[in-house]
Amino acid sequence: MTLRRLPLIDDRVGPSPEIEDDEPPVLGGDPPAPPWSHQPTVEWQVCGLCNYDCSYCIQSKRYRVGYPSREEVDAALRFLSGLPGSWEVKMTGGEPFASRLFLDHIVPSLAADGHIVSTLTNLSAPERQLRRFAELTYGRLGIVSASLHLEFAEVGPFLERLAVLRENAAASARFVVNMVLVPDRLAAVAEAKRAIEAAGFRFFGQMMKVKGGVHPYTPEQLQEVEAIVGDLEAAARTRSANMAPAYTGRRCWTGARYLVLLQSGDAWACRTSRRHDQGWLGNVNHAGVSLREGPIRCPYTICPCTVPANRGMIEGLEARGSRR
C-alpha cells in the first residue's frame, strides 16, 4: 500500500537551516499591523494546573506550574490594559476554571477593560460557574473553545454544560468543540462528532501532536481521520481541522499583533518560536514587554496553533475572527 502523507506537513521540525539559532529579523518597510482585516490577540495562560491528566497532553506535568500569585496576575492585567486598540484575550491553562482567581478577579477585570474575552477550557466547571462566566462576559465573549477529552468526560453531560453556557451568553458569542483525533480511538471521536453537531455545535478535529511534530498515523488511521474531517487536503486548505500546517517563508505578524503570555509573565511571539527559544518579547513582571514593529518571515516548519492563522496574522490566510 502506498504511504499517504499529511498535507502541508514538513518532517523537519525546527527553524530553517539558514537562520538556525538566530532571532528571525523583523522585516523593515512593512506596516506594524497586518494590512488586512485581523484581530489583535493575546493567548494568556492564566494558570498552569489542570484537573485532567490526558494521556496525549502535550503540556507535560513538569510544565504544569501551578497558579500565579495575585501580584503576577495583576501585572499581566496591567499589561493587557495598556495594549493599544482593541484586543482579544484568549485565556488558556492548564484549565482556566481551575484557578480561583479566574472568576473572582481575572474575568471581571478583563471584561471591565473592554477586551474581547475568549477561553479554551475542558468544560469541567460546574454549571453555576459557567453561568457566572456567561454573566461576567455578556456581550464581550468572543469564543469558547471547549475541548472534549473522552478519557475524562462523557459526551452527553459535556454538551449539556456547553448548552448552558450558550443559553446564557449573548448571541454574538461563538462555540466550538475541539477533539484530538486520537489514533486508536477514532471511532469514538466519530461518534462524538455526530452528537456535537446534532446539538448544534461546531466540531473541530485536531491531529494528535507528539514531541517534535504530529503523531505518525498509519494509512488506515488516516482514512478514519478523513472520514471524520473530510478530504485532508481540503481540511488543511480551509482550516476546517488542525492539520498542523507549515507557513514557512510567509510574513507573520505574531509578536506585533499576537503574543503568548505565560503565567510567569514571559511573553513570546508564538508557541513555535517559544519552543525554539526565539521570539521572547519580555516579561510583564520585570522590564516589561516590547511588541515587534512589524512582521518576520516564518522560519518554522510547523505551525500547530490555529489562533495566529484565524486572527489574520499570517500572510495569505484570511482572518476568521474569534473563531477558535
Contacts with ligand SF4 by CB under 6 A lie at 50, 52-54, 57, 59, 94-95, 122, 147, 149, 247, 252, 254, 270, 272-273, 298, 300, 303, 308, 314
Closer by beta carbon to ligand SF4, 94 or else 111: 94
Closer by beta carbon to ligand SF4, 178 or else 221: 178
Distance between CA atoms of 14 and 244, rounded to whole angstroms?
14
Least Å from the CB of residue 235 to ligand SF4: 18
Least Å from the CB of residue 43 to ligand SF4: 11
Closer by beta carbon to ligand SF4, 140 or else 292: 292
Least Å from the CB of residue 124 to ligand SF4: 8
Least Å from the CB of residue 270 to ligand SF4: 3
Closer by beta carbon to ligand SF4, 109 or else 301: 301
Closer by beta carbon to ligand SF4, 179 or else 228: 179
Least Å from the CB of residue 13 to ligand SF4: 11
Least Å from the CB of residue 85 to ligand SF4: 20
Closer by beta carbon to ligand SF4, 149 or else 166: 149
Closer by beta carbon to ligand SF4, 21 or else 71: 21
* Secondary structure (H, E, C), the chain: CCCCCCCCCCCCCCECHHHCCCCCCCCCCCCCCCCCCCCCEEEEECCCCCCCCCCCCCCCHHHCCCCCCHHHHHHHHHHHHCCCCCCEEEEECCCHHHCHHHHHHHHHHHHHCCCEEEEEECCCCCHHHHHHHHHHCCCCEEEEEEECCCCCCCHHHHHHHHHHHHHHCCCCCEEEEEEEECHHHHHHHHHHHHHHHHCCCEEEEEECEECCEECCCCHHHHHHHHHHHCCHHHHHHHCCCECCCCCCCCEECECCCEEEECCCCEEECCHHHHHCCCCEEEECCCCEECCCCCCEECCECCCCCCHHHHCCCECCCCCCCCCC
Least Å from the CB of residue 166 to ligand SF4: 20
